[in-house]
């Protein structure tokens, strides 16, 4: 086949059109098809090789993310338990005054919830949108068995909240398993009685401002890391190998140390009875009663996170600086550039891929950081991931956690896209 | 030969079966788990041969939903606050426990009559009464020490740092009591928007001085480190730090919020039979009394009361240190399970927003 291919190449030069028609392999199949076949086989083999990895990524990465995305818009915990009410909601358009039929459906559903012990689940779903409704469901469901028609009066007699039009509007909304309400909540929005989207009260606003704060802190931390890492990386890249290896160990040692150990060390150093404050008091810089609060607040989060994320900036910078030829800067100097100009116009531009990679790494890690703010952030140093964790682990409102997480993911993707447009993702060197 | 082999195989099988009999109990860690370990875990293993695996969480109620919904339940028994237990039970996440498995009192009174009112529900078997109180480090105050819940919320008279649990529960009640609301009216007031605003306004006055804690073992640590001058805490943790570690802490019972705590079994617990046996064992008159000798949480059974003697090392009478002793109840509030089962989500959201702003 090799010989024939060389022949083909030669003949292509002379008579291209006829060659295309005539060319076949030894067994008579057209060359084009044979080639395509061979390539297909190779591709299949390659696919076969990456298949384990592909499956791994699908199962452990994409599937959970997909499930999370779904959870943020899909919450069947109310709609699954109201067979009778859903029929009534379907038959009557929004805004219909709930009459006897509606209340009868309600009582039937409450009875079945009582039997399956699901009134807590259903009530919790309504409680997300209308706080205080949970006990309405649990207490009325307990009494539902004894209620007699006319149900409208009977139900309202157990608790007058059942007559609240807002409650019926919320129940109608929750009667469909698919909803965007969790995204509204994640952006400090809610629906009023008419179903229009409005901002929540000022003393309940929390997430929108925290998203901005998270972005700002991650940006600040990235900037500080860059300022701190640049000279270190430069030193590492320019020192003789023996000394730079020793320095490298100092950079890597904390990198290999457990995150928890490093965070806890900061608590020991920074707490108000800690090493730093004790030193300041002992040297008389600070009075004993006015020790500086450096931890359990935003300052603690910033300091500890800069320290923990610093190696992610140093290493890419170092890997970019190492191969930069020092003779470029020398050449610039010999042609009359000041040391500042030589740095700015010759050295700095060559480190941009490292700055880009380090910056992106630190920023994306910082935006999603969770454990360090949880330990040293106190009240003011909490990032959005801490609220996601709160709703995953404590309030157990997984749909809201999923909505918050999805928004965070979208924000990071948006920034990634912006970065690609501004700096170019190819212009990135991780090591 | 064949027979020996058969017998040997059978015996190995039995040995494995015996080894496999175990029950995993999720507790709160620290001195509290220690008390449960001494009073329930060890005697239970001694009596039945069933191994007890003890694991801890900041609040054992929170992993239950995650485990049951994910269909991967690894714990058999968990110690939870009553309000959380009621909430989980309503959501169908807990196994119902038949009260007839609970042992009767020594004099034959059935358990259902012997347990204090409200300390048994279809899913929760009460184990103790604990209180959220505030305590101070006496070495930080000479002479002018705090004496009432109002002092805890008085930034002018006591300017030092104070620790509080990072949650709405108990903090809002204490804030209102410090603001002069009688204990009996606290939950009526908290049920209204004005009441909640008033509680947060009171918390606002000391917001900058608060160090927030999450695990029950933290407040004694914060007090001992000098990180805070006073802190809200579970009374048993302070008691054990004072008696066990000779810390100079003092408890202020004024404005205490007390609540039942109990054992629950998550739906689908892997060792259901052992779990039920364990809960029944722990609900026994003597086991409950013994737990109260390791930590100052009161037993929820009438018949256990007279059996509670001194701290396990014989150094101190437990009676005056229990939350339910008459002298400690002069201005005390029984935590409302229904209120918190219902309002927990809403008030914690408000609390988080308040913290973040």
> How far is Cα B272 from Cα A218, in angstroms, rounded to an integer?
47
Tell me the domain boundaries of chain B: 2-129+261-320, 130-259+322-356
Cβ atoms of B103 and B304 closer than 8 Å: no
Of B88, B345, B353, the CB nearest to A206: B353
Identical fold for domains B2-129+261-320 and B130-259+322-356, yes or no, is: yes
- Chain A: give the shortest CA distance to residue B52, in Å: 25
Domain co-membership, A41 together with A94? no
Based on the domain organization, do A218 and A292 belong to the same domain? yes
pLDDT band at B3 (very low <50, low <70, confident <90, very high): low
In a domain, A97, yes or no: yes
Question: Is residue B348 less than 8 Å (CB to CB) from chain A?
Answer: yes
The proportion of chain B whose per-residue pLDDT surpasses 70, expressed as a percent, equals 94
Quick one: A312 and A376 in the same domain?
yes
DSSP at B318: S
CATH class of B2-129+261-320: alpha beta
Residue A380: strand, helix, or coil: coil
List CB contacts (< 8 A) between B65 and chain A. Answer: 396
A256 and A394 housed in the same domain: yes
> A74 phi and psi, to 5 degrees?
-125, 115
Identify the domain boundary among A25, A58, A73.
A73
Same domain, A405 and A310: yes
Residues A352 and A231 in one domain: yes
**What CATH class is the domain B130-259+322-356?**
alpha beta
**H or E element in which residue A212 lies:** helix A207-238
Chain A residue numbers touching B338 (CB-CB < 8 A) = 135
Q: What are the structure tokens assigned to B83, written together?
A: 């309000």
CB-CB neighbors (< 8 A) of B169 in chain A: none
Do A218 and A350 belong together in one domain?
yes
Per-residue pLDDT tens for A367-393? 999 889 988 888 888 899 999 998 888
Q: Would you list the DSSP string of A268-332? A: HHHSTTSHHHHHHHHTTSS-GGG----SSSHHHHHHHHHHHHHHHHHHHHHHHHTTS-HHHHHHH
Nearest to B70 by CA among B93, B54, B96: B93
pLDDT tens, position by position, A320-354: 999 999 899 999 999 999 999 999 999 999 998 89
Which of the listed residues A30, A45, A73 is the one where a domain comes to its end?
A73
| Chain A residues inside the 8 Å CB shell of B341 | 134-135, 138
Q: How far apart are CA A307 and CA B141, in angstroms?
A: 37
- Find the domain containing A108 and state its range: 79-179
Structural tokens at position B353:
């927003």
Here the tokens at position A309 are 């994320």
State whether A11 and A110 are in the same domain.
Answer: no
In the predicted model, is pLDDT for residue A263 greater than 50? yes
- Does A364 lie in the same domain as A309? yes
Alpha-carbon distance values, A424 to A210, A363, A431, B304 (Å)? 29, 16, 17, 73
pLDDT band (50, 70, 90) for residue B11: low
**Is residue A185 assigned to a domain?**
no
Asked if A286 and A400 sit in the same domain, the reply is: yes
Using one digit for the tens of pLDDT, what is the confidence trace for A290-321? Answer: 888 888 889 999 999 999 999 999 999 999 99
Boundary (domain end) residue, out of A10, A38, A73: A73
Total of domains in chain A: 3
Mean pLDDT for the stretch of residues A229-237: 94
Judged by DSSP in three states, B253 sits in strand
Calculate the alpha carbon distances from A327 to A67, A232, A235, A352, B247 in Å.
54, 21, 17, 19, 67
- Share the mean pLDDT of chain B: 89
Judge whether residue A5 has pLDDT over 60. Answer: no
pLDDT for A11 beyond 80 = no
Query: How many angstroms separate the first and last alpha carbons of chain B?
Result: 79
Give the integer Cα–Cα distance in Å for B133 and B255. Answer: 7
Helices (H) and strands (E) in chain A, counts: 22, 2
Chain-chain contact of A395 with B89 (C-beta, under 8 angstroms):
no
Residue whose C-alpha is closest to residue B178's, from B202, B150, B206: B150
H or E segment at A191? strand A189-191
Interface pTM, i.e. ipTM: 0.75
Give how far A123 is from chain B: nearest CA, Å: 9
Task: Indicate whether A252 and A332 sit together in one domain.
Answer: yes
Asked whether residue A259 carries a pLDDT value surpassing 60, the answer given is: yes
DSSP labels for A2-69?
Answer: HHHHHHHHHHHHH-HHHHHHH-B-TTS-BHHHHHHHHHHHHHHHHHHHHHHHHHHHIIIIIHHHHHHH
Q: What tokens were used for A211?
A: 């998203």
Q: Of chain B residues 145-164, which have a CB less than 8 A from chain A?
A: 161
Q: Please determine, for residue B9, whether its predicted confidence score (pLDDT) is greater than 70.
A: no
In terms of pLDDT, which residue wins out, B16 or A180? A180
Q: What is the pTM of this model?
A: 0.80
What angle do helix axes B218-225 and B235-245 make, rounded to 10 degrees?
A: 50
Token pair recorded at residue B193: 């928007």
- Of all residues in chain A, the percent with pLDDT exceeding 90 is 46
3-state secondary structure of A428: coil
Q: Chain B residues with CB inside 8 Å of A206's CB? A: 349, 352-353, 356-357
Q: Is the pLDDT of residue A226 over 80?
A: yes
């Amino acid at each position: 086949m090799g010989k024939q291919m060389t022949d083909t190449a030669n003949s292509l030069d002379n008579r291209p059109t006829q060659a295309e028609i005539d060319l076949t392999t030894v067994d008579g199949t057209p060359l084009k098809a044979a080639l395509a076949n061979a390539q297909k086989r190779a591709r299949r083999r390659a696919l076969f090789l990456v298949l384990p990895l592909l499956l791994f990524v699908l199962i452990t990465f994409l599937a959970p993310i997909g499930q999370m995305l779904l959870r943020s818009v899909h919450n069947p915990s109310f709609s699954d338990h109201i067979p009778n009410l859903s029929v009534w909601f379907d038959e009557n358009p929004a805004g219909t005054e709930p009459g006897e039929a509606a209340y009868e459906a309600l009582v039937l559903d409450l009875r079945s919830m009582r039997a399956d012990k699901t009134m807590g689940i259903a009530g919790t779903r309504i409680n997300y949108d209308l706080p205080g409704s949970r006990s309405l469901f649990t207490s009325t469901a307990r009494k539902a068995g004894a209620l007699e028609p006319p149900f409208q009066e009977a139900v309202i007699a157990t608790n007058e909240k059942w007559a609240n039009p807002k409650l019926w509007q919320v129940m109608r909304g929750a009667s469909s398993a698919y909803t965007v309400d969790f995204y509204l909540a994640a952006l400090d929005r809610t629906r009023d009685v008419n179903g229009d989207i409005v901002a929540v009260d000022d003393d309940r606003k929390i997430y929108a401002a925290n998203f901005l704060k998270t972005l700002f802190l991650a940006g600040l931390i990235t900037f500080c890391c860059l300022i701190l890492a640049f000279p270190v990386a430069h030193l590492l890249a320019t020192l003789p190998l023996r000394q730079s290896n020793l320095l490298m160990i100092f950079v890597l040692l904390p990198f290999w140390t457990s995150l928890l150990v490093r965070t806890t060390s900061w608590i020991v150093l920074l707490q108000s009875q800690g090493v730093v404050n004790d030193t300041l008091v002992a040297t008389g810089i600070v009075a004993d009663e006015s020790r500086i609060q450096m931890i359990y607040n935003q300052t603690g989060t910033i300091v500890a996170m800069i320290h923990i994320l610093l190696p992610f900036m140093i290493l890419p910078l170092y890997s970019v600086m190492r191969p930069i030829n020092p003779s470029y800067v020398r050449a610039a100097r010999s042609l009359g550039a000041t040391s500042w100009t030589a740095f700015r116009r010759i050295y700095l531009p060559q480190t941009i891929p490292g700055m880009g990679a380090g910056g992106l790494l630190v920023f994306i890690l910082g935006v999603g950081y969770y454990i360090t703010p949880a330990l040293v952030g106190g009240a003011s140093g909490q990032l959005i991931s801490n609220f996601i964790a709160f709703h995953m682990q404590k309030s157990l409102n997984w749909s809201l956690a999923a909505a918050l997480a999805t928004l965070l993911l979208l924000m990071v993707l948006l920034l990634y896209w912006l970065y690609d447009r501004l700096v170019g993702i190819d212009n990135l060197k991780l090591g | 030969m064949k027979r020996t082999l058969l017998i040997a195989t059978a015996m190995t099988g039995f040995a494995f079966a015996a080894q496999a009999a175990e029950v995993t109990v999720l507790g709160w860690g620290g001195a509290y788990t220690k008390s449960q370990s001494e009073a329930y875990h060890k005697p239970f293993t001694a009596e039945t041969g069933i191994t007890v695996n003890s694991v801890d969480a900041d609040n054992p109620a929170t992993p239950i939903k995650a485990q049951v919904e994910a269909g991967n339940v690894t714990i058999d028994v968990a110690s939870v606050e009553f309000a959380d237990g009621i909430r989980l039970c309503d959501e169908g996440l807990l196994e119902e426990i038949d009260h007839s498995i609970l042992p009767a009192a020594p004099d034959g009174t059935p358990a259902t009559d012997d347990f204090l009112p409200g300390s048994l529900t279809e899913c929760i078997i009460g184990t103790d009464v604990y209180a959220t109180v505030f305590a101070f480090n006496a070495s930080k105050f000479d002479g002018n020490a705090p004496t009432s819940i109002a002092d805890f919320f008085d930034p002018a008279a006591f300017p030092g740092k104070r620790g509080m649990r990072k949650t709405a529960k108990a903090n809002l009640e204490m804030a209102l009591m410090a603001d002069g609301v009688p204990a009996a009216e606290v939950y009526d007031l908290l049920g209204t928007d004005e009441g909640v605003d008033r509680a947060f306004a009171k918390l606002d006055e000391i917001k900058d001085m608060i160090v927030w804690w999450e695990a029950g073992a933290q407040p004694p640590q914060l007090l001992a480190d000098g990180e805070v001058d006073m802190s809200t805490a579970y009374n048993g943790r302070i008691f054990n730090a004072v008696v066990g570690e000779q810390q100079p802490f003092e408890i202020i019972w004024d404005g205490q919020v007390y609540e039942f705590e109990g054992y629950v079994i998550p739906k689908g617990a892997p060792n259901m039979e052992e779990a039920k046996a364990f809960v029944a064992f722990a609900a026994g008159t003597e086991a409950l009394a013994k737990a109260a000798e390791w930590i100052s949480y009161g037993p929820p059974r009438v018949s256990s009361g007279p059996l509670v003697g001194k701290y396990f090392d014989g150094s101190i009478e437990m009676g005056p240190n229990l939350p339910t002793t008459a002298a400690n109840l002069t201005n005390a509030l029984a935590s409302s399970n229904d209120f918190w089962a219902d309002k927990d989500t809403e008030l914690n959201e408000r609390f988080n927003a308040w913290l973040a702003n």
